[in-house]
Amino acid sequence: MPRALNFLLALFVTATLVGCASQAPRASEPLIISVEEWGGSRINVGPTRKHEIKHITLHHGGVDFLKGTDTAHHLRNLQAWSRNTRGWPDIPYHYLIDPDGNIYEGRDITLAGDTNTEYDPTGHALIVVLGNFDKVEPNAAQIDATVAVMALLAKRYNVVPTTIQSHRDYAKTSCPGANLYPYIASGEFARRVAAKI
């Protein structure tokens, strides 16, 4: 094969490979920090309940969570507390969002979550925004990340965006806080999720 042709062929193969690689992570899907990446363990403690996602339900952490907090460290503590103190198999939520809008994987989405309140979280994909939104306003990065996770879940599990609700819509609680709830109540999350999927 002539040298020039060989070079062109190599160039073509390289371009094709690079092209494929850049298509692998779908641009529309948010980056999610896995349990392994934040240093957690996937070994569930005690009984678990398999479920199928029918609802998307929003929570807040309910305690102060300042920007600059080491989220991975917090999640490792939360996982240990959930298992050792609460006797739950894992963190009660499936996805967690920090003040920088980073999204972390929590409990295996195929397993039902847990709650301190009187509603059955079976069938609910549980998203928690870390912080106390009875006290502070959510920032734009947190809102954008919440929309991104909701859209991912709505698309994957065929959940109608207008049915996305929050903890207080199911149980007696102020969760997800006075300053985060209006995004549910006004339909803003539903509108932004619908526009994304």
Residue 192 within binding range of Zn ion, rule CB under 5 A: no
Q: Which of 167, 180, 192, 193 binds Zn ion (CB under 5 A)?
A: 167
Classify 103 in phi/psi space as left (phi over 0), alpha (psi -120 to 50) or beta. Answer: beta
Question: In this complex, which beta carbon is closest to Zn ion, that of residue 101 or of residue 113?
Answer: 113
CB 95 within 8 A of CB 106: yes
Q: Does 55 bind Zn ion (CB under 5 A)?
A: no
Least distance from C-beta 59 to Zn ion, angstroms? Answer: 3
H or E stretch at 14: helix 3-23
- Region from 67-75, 132-140, 151-159, 162-170 binding Zn ion, contact rule CB under 5 A: 162-170
Residue given tokens 């403690």 in the structure block:
45
- Residue 53 binds to Zn ion (criterion: CB under 5 A): no
As a three-state string, the secondary structure of 82-146 is: HHHCCCCCCCCCCEEECCCCCEEECCCCCECCCCCCCCCCCCEEEEEECCCCCCCCCCHHHHHHH
Q: Does 124 bind Zn ion (CB under 5 A)?
A: no
Question: Which of 59, 83, 94, 107 touches Zn ion by CB under 5 A?
Answer: 59
Q: Contact with Zn ion (CB under 5 A): which of 127, 175, 184, 193?
A: 175
- Binding footprint of Zn ion on the chain (CB under 5 A): 59, 167, 175
